Structure 1
Amino acid sequence: MNAFTRHLANIARLGVKELWSLWRDPMMLVLIVYLFTVAVYSSARAIPETLHMAAIAVVDEDHSPLSQRIIGDFYPPLFTRPAVITRDEMDAGMDTGAYTFVLNIPPDFQRDVLAGRAPAVQLNVDATRMSQAFSGSGYIQQIVLGEVQDFTRRYRASTTLPVDLNARMRFNPSLTQAWFGGAMQYVNYITLVSILLTGAALIREREHGTIEHLLVMPVTPTEIMLGKVWAMGLVVLVAAGLSLGVMLRGVLGMPIEGSASLFLAGVALHLFATTSMGIFLATVARTMPQFGLLVMLTILPMQMLSGGSTPFESMPLFVQRVMQVAPTTHFVELAQAILYRGAGIDVVYKPFLILALIGSALFALSLSRFRKTISQMA
């Protein structure tokens, strides 16, 4: 057996050892399954940006055709069927949280509108429900003003403009927010799990004393590190592939426009960088609590400023330049291009190359730090 074959055999055996260690850690396995299933679904369905089934009630003190037309304009899926209540029930309904919006139409509302006066309509909003309060109040104002305008004209009509603007929604024609929220959190969990697995594997060996056993074996620090990288990376890659097909495409019904194989190739390249980062953080931390704090300080800025939550172009120029060295920025770019827009390798080759460079740099830095840590322990 030549030297190269022996190195490959050692890396393979060390990786299998990592897989067996992970298999004996049920809490970590449960975490992986949870993040790529329940957490992805929850991220897609929770806190929608668009208005959906907002609870509304109307205090109709006018009982006129105009007030009835306004009430009839509130219907699913933006609002629930409006509950017609009295003024005495309004405060109690708001206090108990039964209604997010309560619209109070005053007496003689239609008569004042026809007389050219400007009657006041009161809109009560439960501002604790921030996800619906802001957008919902805007919808209600448009509905009320639109009905009043149509009623005073005696007919429904649209003003003819000199320019005809046709809006066409590409890549997400139905504007389904769950597709974006679920996919971006899925991308974030790939980064998070890969860093946690590799870092926890190294710290676990240090706490259990098995790292000293490796030092007396005929293996090099490079082989030890490569064994951890390929084993933990393979686990995350398999979990990501299953979640892509089962959760995103199956449960959430998200159409995958591009090649799933190309995307998973990008995932593998990204995992090369993030698993190396996980080992580097594990060499800095001495215990699992310290490692957890380091992960929080690292992963939160990387995910928030990667372009997954807000458009990358809307960030300050300084932040954009700094985030060019983070692997998450380029991973989000290729993920959005492939999953949403069906981009091919001719479009995403640049983030692929940058990820390869960043991964190589992180691997070299982590290997240097890992060798120093091993020498100190020896």
Structure 2
Amino acid sequence: MMMTPQLSWHIVLQLAGKELRSLWRDRLLLVFVLWAFSGAIYTAATAMPDRLVSAPIAVVDEDQTVLSQRLISAFYPPDFLTPDLISLGEMDAGLDTGHYSFVLDIPPGFQRDLVAGRRPALQLNVDATQMRQSFVGTGYVQSMIQLELQEFEQGERTAAASPVELAVRMRFNPTLNSAWFSGVMEVINMVTMLSIILAGAALIREREHGTLEHLLVMPIRPVEIMLAKVLSMGAVVLLASLLSLRIMVQGVLEMPIGGALALFMLAVALHLFATTSMGIFMGTVARSMPQLALLIILVLLPLQMLSGGATPRESMPEAVRTLMLLAPTTHFVSLAQAVLYRGAGLSIAWPNLLALTAIGATFFIAALARFRRSLAL
């Protein structure tokens, strides 16, 4: 009876070391990894603030009254730059050139009409090409004008009495700092993207350099070659994600981590088991680096956009939610948010860990079967 040769972990570790040395010599890819877990994290967390910062605004004051001066003085740093007083003819040019994001037009007779009990209109012109700033800034302007008008009419700023007192408690993010959410989600996205890219690129690099044929004439099994790539590239991303959480998220962004970091890193390892297998599978389908890049784009965008990190899963169609349960990113994002934001423990995270293990094993078996068939061609 023919015996199946046992798996040699000594060979696997030697091949893994070869993969790490090959990555070290690829300085461009190495710089990309460093940027992905440092500069990209900081940029994603700070590039889209949840509040206005020095928004340029101008005012066309056709009323020239005490009330119009009060409205102009309501806009001040750091939310807005000091308002520029411009003429009506300069308004369109300032918006067309992008010099101003907001232009408030106070019509003549505005104070007189307000005192007389009429309902005068103010015109706010907004540069809507800057969508986030225009959306947030419009609300700012409306609120500030309402407060100033209320104080002008009543002599004080008083809020209308409510029959119910609403006590708001902000859990898990008391300062409503969007950088906390953006930073962690970018780490999660980079773990997925880099693991697929590194594993797929490692296989393509072997084929382009001709070293894969050299390995095949040696007493090395395909499963050992694949395990070496999974372990080596997974270890690189695992270490990079840990350092990114410690240095960038906790250090630079000053985000507190609610749960056990060890539990999250266990989830990262299981997630990498699945995504590196996906990368190797794509590496067997693609025949060159450009083909691999196009294939990764087709797969990576749905994984990241439909996993629940960009938009809530509850807002997606039922068919999409059911289909995305087969993707490792869905369970990884859910677990990461529960552990890092809400401090969840193993009693809550174990279903996601079990799902990641099953999905990873499925992807590994499928990638290994495809890898064997590609070697036989």
Q: Distance in 2 between matches of 1:211 and 1:154?
A: 82
For 1:340, the equivalent position in structure 2 comes to 341
Q: Distance in 1 between matches of 2:324 and 2:157?
A: 52
Structure 1: unaligned runs, 5 residues or longer: none
Q: Distance in 2 between matches of 1:365 and 1:36?
A: 29
SS of equivalent residue, structure 1 residue 275: helix
Q: Distance in 2 between matches of 1:346 and 1:68?
A: 60
CA contact (8 A) 1:50 1:177 kept: no
SS of equivalent residue, structure 2 residue 85: strand
Cα deviation code 1:313-344 (max 9, x no counterpart): 11111110000000011111111111111111
For 1:142, the equivalent position in structure 2 comes to 143
TM-score, scaled to structure 1? 0.94
For 1:258, the equivalent position in structure 2 comes to 259
1:374–1:247: structure 2 CA closer, same or farther, 3 Å change rule?
same
For 2:108, the equivalent position in structure 1 comes to 107
Q: Distance in 2 between matches of 1:242 and 1:80?
A: 38
CA contact (8 A) 1:40 1:247 kept: yes
Q: Distance in 2 between matches of 1:190 and 1:289?
A: 21
For 1:32, the equivalent position in structure 2 comes to 33
Q: Distance in 2 between matches of 1:261 and 1:57?
A: 52
Amino acid at match of 1:224: I
For 1:201, the equivalent position in structure 2 comes to 202
Cα deviation code 1:26-77 (max 9, x no counterpart): 1110110111111111111223344333221222222333223322332344
CA contact (8 A) 1:58 1:102 kept: yes
TM-superposed CA distance for 1:287, in Å, is 1.4
TM-superposed CA distance for 1:281, in Å, is 0.7
Q: Distance in 2 between matches of 1:336 and 1:70?
A: 43
Pair 1:316 & 2:317 matched: yes
SS of equivalent residue, structure 1 residue 163: coil
For 2:329, the equivalent position in structure 1 comes to 328
Cα deviation code 1:85-120 (max 9, x no counterpart): 333433332233221001011222111101011212
1:6–1:116: structure 2 CA closer, same or farther, 3 Å change rule?
closer
Pair 1:84 & 2:85 matched: yes
Q: Distance in 2 between matches of 1:242 and 1:109?
A: 59
For 1:352, the equivalent position in structure 2 comes to 353
Amino acid at match of 1:64: T
Amino acid at match of 2:54: M
For 2:156, the equivalent position in structure 1 comes to 155
Q: Higher mean Cα deviation, 320-329 or 256-265?
A: 256-265
Q: Distance in 2 between matches of 1:6 and 1:89?
A: 77
Q: Higher mean Cα deviation, 142-151 or 8-17?
A: 142-151
CA contact (8 A) 2:147 2:157 kept: no
CA contact (8 A) 2:7 2:224 kept: no
Pair 1:67 & 2:68 matched: yes
Q: Distance in 2 between matches of 1:325 and 1:219?
A: 32
1:159–1:4: structure 2 CA closer, same or farther, 3 Å change rule?
farther
Amino acid at match of 2:271: H
CA contact (8 A) 1:190 1:236 kept: yes
TM-superposed CA distance for 1:6, in Å, is 6.6
SS of equivalent residue, structure 2 residue 8: helix
CA contact (8 A) 1:269 1:356 kept: yes
Aligned length: 374
SS of equivalent residue, structure 1 residue 308: coil
TM-superposed CA distance for 1:152, in Å, is 2.5
Q: Distance in 1 between matches of 2:146 and 2:318?
A: 41
Q: Distance in 2 between matches of 1:81 and 1:352?
A: 53
Q: Distance in 2 between matches of 1:53 and 1:265?
A: 42
For 2:181, the equivalent position in structure 1 comes to 180
SS of equivalent residue, structure 1 residue 298: helix
Amino acid at match of 2:156: Y
Amino acid at match of 1:145: Q
Amino acid at match of 1:294: L
Q: Indicate the RMSD between aligned Cα atoms, in angstroms.
A: 1.7
Task: Report % sequence identity.
Answer: 56
CA contact (8 A) 1:312 1:320 kept: yes
Cα deviation code 1:222-247 (max 9, x no counterpart): 11110110000000111111111111
Pair 1:133 & 2:151 matched: no
Cα deviation code 1:134-156 (max 9, x no counterpart): 22223212322333234323332
CA contact (8 A) 1:198 1:278 kept: yes
CA contact (8 A) 2:57 2:103 kept: yes
Structure 2: unaligned runs, 5 residues or longer: none
Pair 1:45 & 2:46 matched: yes
Amino acid at match of 1:372: R
SS of equivalent residue, structure 1 residue 40: helix
Cα deviation code 1:229-279 (max 9, x no counterpart): 000000011111111111111111222122222211111111001000101
1:278–1:165: structure 2 CA closer, same or farther, 3 Å change rule?
same
